[in-house]
Chains A and B, each alone.
Chain A
Amino acid sequence: MLFNSLSFVVFLIIVLVLYYSKIFNWTGKKRMLLFASYVFYGLWNPPLVILLWISTFVDWFTGKKLATEENKRKRLYWLLLSMFVNLGFLTFFKYRDFLVDNFTTVVNTYGYGYQSSKMDIILPMGISFYTFQTMSYTIDMYLKRTERAKTFLDFALYVTFFPQLVAGPIVRAQDLISQFYEEKRATINQFIWGLFLLILGLFQKVVMADTLLSDTVDKVYSSDKILNFWDAWMGTLAFSGQIFFDFAGYSTCAIGIALMLGIILPDNFKYPYASLGFSDLWKRWHITLSSWLRDYLYIPLGGNRYGVVRMYSALMITMLLGGLWHGAAWTFIVWGGLHGTYLILERLQRQYIPFKITKWNGMFLAFTTFTCVNITWVFFRAREFKTAWNMISSMFYLNPEGEKVLGSFDILKVGIIIGLLFICHWFMRNTSVEAVSKKIPPVALAVIWAIMIFLVAIAQGSGEQFIYFQF
C-alpha cells in the first residue's frame, strides 16, 4: 500500500480509530498494529507476507538462543543461521538474476556456451529494508549490545511496523522495541505535528517529485540520443531533486504516521544537498542506512583501527556493497564506488591539504559536493552504462551539438526548483523543520500547510510508486 493512495487514507483512519478507541488494552493495540501491518504489506502481494513471517520467526528464535547461549562457537552458529536465512532470501529475490547473468558472461568468455534462464522473480517490496532491520537485532544480540525483545509480539511488531516497513527508516531494535513495552499515546501536539509531517511528506512526493520533476527526468533518461549540455544537466539535477523529494518524502510520512501513534522514529535526512563534503553527506543522506553500513560493515571490516590501507579498503568495500544494496546492477556498484572514491579523496585532502571551513568557502564546498553528487546520480539513474556515459560526456560539454529534448520552461522550472532546494538546504543545515515552525506565527504555518494540502489535492495522480520501494 502506498502512502499516496486512497486505500492508505482509509487504512490509516481505521488504524487510528482502533488505536485510540478503548476497545483494546495495550497488548490488544499492538496486536492490532501487527495485523494492520500485515494487511498493509499483504494488499500488495499476500504470499510474500510469508517471507516476513519466516524472517520474524528465525530472528526471534535466534535472539532467544543468543540471549542464553554462552558458548562462543554456538553463538556464532546462531548468528550465521540468521544471516544465512536473511541474506539468502535477499540474494535469491534481489540478486539471483544478476549473479546468474554475470556468471554466464564470465563462463562464456571461456567458451563454455552456458545458457541461463531468467526467473523473473518478483522483488518483495522493502526486502532490503526489513532484512537489514532484523539483521541488526540479531547482530546486536550476538554482540550483546541490545536486550532481547521481551515478547514475540514486540519483536514481530518491530520487524513489521507498517510506517517504516517497506522503505525505512531502518530502525535499531533498542530504539523501537523498547517503545512498545509501555502504552504509547501521542499528545495532541504530537498528533497534529505527525499529521503535518505526513502532509509535508506527501507534498514532497506528489507535488515536488512526481509532478514537478519526474517528467523531465524521464524525458532525458529515456532518450536514446546524445543530449545537449543543458538537457543532460537539467535531467540529472531534476533527478537529484526527484530522488530526494521521493525518499525524504517517504521518510517524513513514516515519521509523521508513527508520531501520530506516539512512536518516535529517527530522522533519515538532514538537508543533504548542503553537505560540506562526503563524510557530511553520509551523515545527512539516508542516515539510518549509512549508520547501519558503518556499524555492521565498515567497523567490522576494521574501520580506521588498522592503518590507512585497511581503512580505505573497508571504506571502498562498504560503499560498493552500499551501492549493490540499492540494486542488482553494475551501475549501482559504480555509484557506490564513486562515493567510496570521494570519501577516500576527502580523507586524503584532510590529511594533506587541510583548511578551515568558513561561511564563504563552506558554500563553495557545499556547491562542489552537490555537483559531484550529481555526477554519481547519473550512474544511479541510468539503466545502462551507455546512457550513463552519454550523459556524462554531455555534462562535460563534449557534445555541444547534442539533441535538445527539454523545452525552455522545463529548464527554467528545474533550475528554479533545484536552486531553491540547494539554498533551502544551506539555510536549514543546522536546524530543523520543527525548530523553524516554532519561530513562525501559527497563521503562517497554517497557510503553508493549506497550500501544501491544496497542491497535493490538485496534483494527485494515479499513485506513483516511491522510487526506494524497488530497493
Chain B
Amino acid sequence: MRVVLAIAAKDLRQRLRDRSAWVIVFLAPVLISALMALAFNNNDEFRANLGVVDLDRGPAAAGLTRVLKSPELEGTVHVRSYDSEVAARRAVDAGDVHAAIVVPKGFTESLHGGGAEPVRVLDSVDYGLQAQLAEAVTESYVAQVNADRLSVATAVAAGAQETDVPELAAKAALLRLPEDVRAQGLPDDPLKVISYFGPSMGMFFVLFTVGFGARGYFIEQQQGTLDRIAAAPVGRGALLIGKSVSTFVYSLAGLATVTVVSWLAFDASWADPVGVAALSVAMAVCVVCLTALVIALVRTEQQAQGLASILVFALVLLGGNFVFASGTTPAIRTLALFTPNGWALRGFTDLGTGVRGWEAVGAPLLGIAAFSLVVVAVTALLLRVRRTP
C-alpha cells in the first residue's frame, strides 16, 4: 500500500508541476463552459415577434390572432398587424418581426363550404426557430378550423338547413380539439445552459488526461525510471494501481473543480449532489480504463498522443459535448449511448432539470460501467497477447 501511495503521490506531484496540466484540466473547462453559457444564454429568454396579415377580416382570422395573444403565449409571442403581405415581407426581411402569418381572403367563408387559399407563413433564415413556432401555432389553428368545417359538412349531409349553417359553424367553433398534448415524465425545471456545458466541458478536458497518462507512461519507459521501479521489489499490480490512482484523482479533481465553480460562480444547479459525485467518480474511473487501453495499444509516446487525441475527439463528438443532444440527429443520439460521456451528460441533464437519485443517474452509471468493462476486457486481452517474456 505504501508503494502504491508513493507512486501515486509522485505522479500527482509531477502533474501538478506541469502548468499546461493546470490549464487544461482546471482552467480551460471553467472558462469555456462560462463562455458557452454566455453565448447560448438567450435560450433562457426565447421571444418570437410575429406579424399577422388579416386579409380575411372574418371571425376565423380573428380567432387566430386571439390564439397568438392568448395568456399561454404571453411573454413568448408578440404580435404586430400588417395591412398587406408586401408590408409583412418587408418587415420580416428587415428583422422587425421574426416571421409573419398571412390569413387569406375567404378563410372564414371556407368554414361554410368551398375552398380557400392556404394560410401562409413568411419566414427568415435568421430566425428558424421562431418561424417553426409560427408554423406550429398556425397548423394547430388550421386543424381546428378544418375540424369545424367537417362538423358543419356532416350536419348538412344529415339534413340540416342551409340557413342553420352559420349557427352550426359558431357552435362547432366552440368545441376545441384536444390539441393540448402534454409529455409525461418531463421535469418542470428548465435546463440551464451552464448546468449542461459545465460538466460537458469538464469531461471534454478531463478526457485529455488519457493522453497525459499514456504519454507519461512512455516517457517513464524512455527515461528508464520504469525499469528502475521494476528493479525494485514492486509488483506490476502495485505499479498499475499507483499510476491509476493518480489518473483517477487528477480526473476527479478536474471534474469537481468544474462542477463546483459552475455552481458557485455561474449559478449552475443540479438536483442531487450525490448524483453529481457518482457521475464524476464513474467518469474518472472510465478515464483510467481508457488510459490503460491506449498504453496497451501503442508503443511510443507519439503514438499514445495521437491515439488519445483521436479517441477523445471521437467520444466528445459522438457523446454530444459540444451541442445539446436535442439538437442532433437521432442517429447521433443513438451513437451517444455507446460513449461514457454521452451517458454522463444524460445524467447531468436529468440532474439539471430536477430529477433526483437513481432515476437520474442509474442508467448513466450502468452505461459508463458497461463501457469501462468493455475497455478493461479489451485492454487485458491486448496485454496478454503483447506481453513480452
Asked if chains A and B come from one complex, the reply is no
Measuring CB to CB, which residues of chain A are less than 8 angstroms from any residue of chain B? Answer: none
